[in-house]
Amino acid sequence: MKKRLLGKTGLEVSIAGFGVLPMGPSQLALPLEEGAEIIRYALQNGINFIDTAQYYRTYPYIKRALEMESFDNLVICSKSLCWDYEGMMEAILEAREELGRDVIDIFLMHEVRSGQLELRSGAWNALKDAKANGLVRAIGISTHHADITEAAASMEDLDVIFPLFNYAGLGIRRGESFASADEMYEAIKLCHSAGKGVFSMKAFGGGNLTAHYQQALDYVYAKPEIDSVMIGFGKISEVDDLLSYLSGSMDRAYNPDVSKKKVYINQEDCEGCGSCKNTCPAGAIFYNENGLAEVNHEKCLTCGYCSPVCPVRAVIMY
């Protein structure tokens, strides 16, 4: 698979990365061996870039895949939602421990929203110190926000940016409002011009654009400012589809079977506490006439963020 240098990091990454979120406990909850086998298969087929996070609880799959077979020049990115110095430093140490790697290639502040950069400066300082001390190679931000992506372009110490980007603009935000794909693309161009490495997430809008598979990939791969596109995989056939697309052998009429996986809220269990609604980055959860949470599937990114915050495990995916 084609590789590119990720900005000025010196890291060479495949133009498609492996997002490990879908196989983890907040989504498919695959058995360890099954998930690890999918990762190994992708690595055997030229993907060398893996995205995970403290929040995803997917480190064991990656570690197991690397126990099955060793791979050279692998680039692992993780991230943490922690806001303070100590929390971020602990997250980095946890990743090193649980992944069995002395150095984490890329570590990010996870899902930075408008107005949070100052508030999360403790975590950012931890990332800078971790890089200075050789615990990580490159640091940056993941975000769904066009304004944060713009700001990243002028952050001197930031090496990489991981923005949400898809042709429909699903999930792209600016402050409390939605923003367009064009706005995010302008911000991405700024980052690229500033020498930042750019890898994008949610090309399929969390599964909502999978029915337009090639259109979705054509859109992101037509952007030369994006070094790599991170794609979530939960099945070997999904890796095969991507390989087929990138090799140019995919029939232009083909689109995968639209994913049947959706996030639902079990109405018998829900207590209407609102935690899921407050956590949802896409504004996809609303209260129904019974005062209980429900998911608007038009907006849902299937990111799984609502699942772990539910105190009664009423958020389910099938």
Please report, as ranges, the residues that interact with ligand SF4 according to CB under 6 A. 263, 265, 270-276, 279-280, 282, 284-285, 293, 295, 300-306, 309-312, 314-315
From CA 228, how far away is CA 163, in angstroms rounded? 11
From CA 200, how far away is CA 224, in angstroms rounded? 12
Q: How far is the CB of 299 from ligand SF4 (least distance, A)?
A: 7
From CA 11, how far away is CA 317, in angstroms rounded? 35
Q: Which is nearer to ligand SF4, 36 or 276 (CB)?
A: 276
Q: Which is nearer to ligand SF4, 101 or 113 (CB)?
A: 113
Q: How far is the CB of 306 from ligand SF4 (least distance, A)?
A: 3
Q: How far is the CB of 316 from ligand SF4 (least distance, A)?
A: 9
Q: Which is nearer to ligand SF4, 230 or 265 (CB)?
A: 265
Q: How far is the CB of 91 from ligand SF4 (least distance, A)?
A: 21
Strand pairing report for 12-14 and 3-5: antiparallel
Q: Which is nearer to ligand SF4, 156 or 298 (CB)?
A: 298
Q: Which is nearer to ligand SF4, 246 or 276 (CB)?
A: 276
Q: How far is the CB of 284 from ligand SF4 (least distance, A)?
A: 4
- Residue 9: closest CA among 131, 133, 132, 160: 160
- Residue 301: closest CA among 246, 262, 258: 262
Q: How far is the CB of 12 from ligand SF4 (least distance, A)?
A: 32
From CA 27, how far away is CA 236, in angstroms rounded? 16
Q: How far is the CB of 76 from ligand SF4 (least distance, A)?
A: 24
Q: Which is nearer to ligand SF4, 138 or 314 (CB)?
A: 314
Q: Which is nearer to ligand SF4, 250 or 295 (CB)?
A: 295
Q: Which is nearer to ligand SF4, 9 or 142 (CB)?
A: 142
Q: How far is the CB of 264 from ligand SF4 (least distance, A)?
A: 9
